Structure 1
Amino acid sequence: MYEQLKTILITDLHVAEDDVRPEATREEAGLDSLAMVELSMALGKRLGLDVSDDELLEAATVGELARLVEERAAQAA
């Protein structure tokens, strides 16, 4: 799931590939609150997952974002 999230961050949100690391904070990756709204929409469109931007904002790192997306995908399956 991390690789799918990484692809979305790079292609849809235009985050620099070098900034997408599991230990990177949202701020280090350039993911502000607007980016979380965009990510929420991209997750819905690309993966069919319903993850709110508020939930995404609770994640402190890219790795935590990936875990949240993975948990949501498991619930949807």
Structure 2
Amino acid sequence: MTGDLAAILREDLKLPANGLTPDASLDNAGFDSLAIVELSVLLNDRYGIAIDEAEIKNASTLHQLDLLIQRKRDER
């Protein structure tokens, strides 16, 4: 998991650091529906990366979420 994503999850979304491991599911990392929406908006506003809530929900682990973000960043 990149440092950027870890920092966003800890600092912006206030998810508990002990649950932020690459193999953690979104549920185990502390995501709820509001956190998913907030992450989508934040990625768009801060990085210009358009990832909708359904794409985030489909990530099975934080590592998969990180790969999705990297792929979307590369597509820009």
Could you tell me how far 1:16 is from its partner in structure 2? 1.2
Letter of the structure 1 residue corresponding to residue 75 of structure 2:
Q
Instruction: Give the fraction of aligned pairs with identical amino acids, expressed as a percent.
Output: 34
Structure 1 gap ranges (5+): none
1 or 2, which has the higher helix percentage? 2
Task: Give the Cα separation in 2 of the matches to 1:8 and 1:41.
Answer: 12
Per-residue CA deviation, residues 10-29 of structure 1 (Å, 9 max, x unaligned), is 11100111211100111111
Letter of the structure 1 residue corresponding to residue 23 of structure 2:
E
Letter of the structure 2 residue corresponding to residue 39 of structure 1:
L
In the superposition, the TM-score normalised over structure 1's length comes to 0.91
Q: Partner of 1:46 in structure 2?
A: 46
Letter of the structure 2 residue corresponding to residue 44 of structure 1:
N
In the superposition, the TM-score normalised over structure 2's length comes to 0.92
Letter of the structure 2 residue corresponding to residue 69 of structure 1:
I
Could you tell me how far 1:60 is from its partner in structure 2? 1.2
Letter of the structure 1 residue corresponding to residue 3 of structure 2:
E
Q: Give the number of equivalent residue pairs.
A: 76
Give the secondary structure class of the aligned counterpart of 1:28.
Answer: helix
Question: Would you identify which runs of 4 or more consecutive aligned residues in structure 1 move more than 3 Å?
Answer: none
